[in-house]
Structure 1
């Protein structure tokens, strides 16, 4: 007596295989296999993200490496809303997102402060631009204080200062960037913090290089010409505004 045929057509075999696969996926063994596969994929993604941070520029004079993706992001021209300080409502405290308090770890902006921002429907009064206003203000205020200090301090003390601040800033920026990659959804405020965090780092690096290269007198002359990095940022900002508005 011959063997009984289980599946008469190719379609029967296809349906049977689908059913077998469904049954396996719902079994304890199938669930464990899927969990292991998901874990491996997650670990591979995290390793790939972390590897991107190892590609960058080494600064031996201050024993620091800066990721290339940070430098690329810091080169972008950012927007700041000129209408923020004229608005009838203001946040309870300036929403600086932790970017100006050592060790410069991201601090979420309270929802009530986000709601108080005078956001609108164009790029120059967007949430990014409104948050950027406070960063731009802080950059300028700190730049004036730093200029007065760096005119008289020795290069060794300036290098020690920049090594400490940039080391903390780069480390915090990398942690935030990795956290954003791991997050299941988009967080616009964190993206703004990454943009301005990178900008601050790049401005500090460029200004330190100017001070080391030109000396105190050349540094002073560069400021009088309006060519220090933070001054150049303001000019680029205004040029972008003229183009877009």
Structure 2
């Protein structure tokens, strides 16, 4: 994440929520509801890519993972429990402080860094994740290129982001912020990327998209994978060839 990709206003917005990040009924409640579904998708892609047994508790043992825009560690901690050596990076120092404190309380060794991804020591990772982040950066193309540069040759990159549709504007921005489901100012609909736009950025960075699925509301479960991509979608990429 070079200097052209971090938006200071976005970093400040999410940094202000740091103390509340791990409260499932607080300002990050929506992320807590999304996280199990995102984890299910990530696990599915891990198992398919590395031919892992779905019953294996630590499918990432011996592998490294990088979570970019990690917040206070909502995804980084489950990746660590899956056996990965996890590095998390976030633009907001407040988030990293909360992430370190929570990981310590859980007995998890996660390497957290505040600031630019490009400032990390040179390294590549078997798994690179970035959930609900690309729509908040100042330069999405540069951001995706930096993510791709951190991906190991046989690695896997998994992203999620809202889609730029009329429905997402109505539900994710206007309705969700009005009723307090997400904090006001969280989303700028004009920054949302359609799947074809994000795919173009990924291909421009030398990767290929190998899977994509919708993430949509479910009356029974809160959210579900598959079906409509009108609100949100996840995709998986790897190096060409």
> Does the TM-score normalized on the shorter chain lie above 0.5?
no
TM-score range, shorter chain: under 0.3
TM-score of the superposed pair, with normalisation by structure 1: 0.26
More helix by percentage = 1
More strand by percentage = 2
Question: Which is higher, the Rg of structure 1 or of structure 2?
Answer: 1
